[in-house]
Amino acid sequence: MLSRDEFVSRYGGVFEHSPFVAERSYDDGFIGDELTVDRVHTALVAIFRAASPEERLGVLRAHPDLAGRLAIAGELTEDSKKEQAGAGLDRLSAAEHARFTELNTAYVEKFGFPFIIAVKGLNKDDILAAFEKRINNTRDEEFETATAQVERIALLRLEALLPTR
């Protein structure tokens, strides 16, 4: 079995810049000897869902804007950099970048957290379409949608780290 420090070191970044999720999963005994995607994801999601609304909002706010200033400055986490590049967000035209910037700004002003979507398997057009649709949601709808997307991102990250069975 992994020690707490080993577990947090390995899985503390699965929820973007939010190691408390892994720490609490370990401390609450949710983590057993057999580490599989399903077991670890279930444990982490349980802690994330049990966190206070303010803590969950903090997790949402820890995510970078898509094709935003952190990407331009090269300051994304390795996971975020790979995810955004895989969707082509590192190769936007000036007009596309301007549209993402405009949507990012409007979205954060409306909801108080960045637009979050699991980009694996999507391209820039898919992401823009989702962005333009979701910006019309209510804050409660979007908080729930963003929460589900964070959980999907965590699952995809775990799939890269662990066996499925």
Active site members: 63
H or E, element range at 124: helix 124-134
Single out the residue of 118, 110, 105 nearest to residue 145, CA to CA: 118
Single out the residue of 114, 38, 36 nearest to residue 80, CA to CA: 114
DSSP codes, 43-111: HHHHHHHHS-HHHHHHHHHHSPPTT-HHHHHT-S-HHHHHHHHHTTTTS--HHHHHHHHHHHHHHHHHH
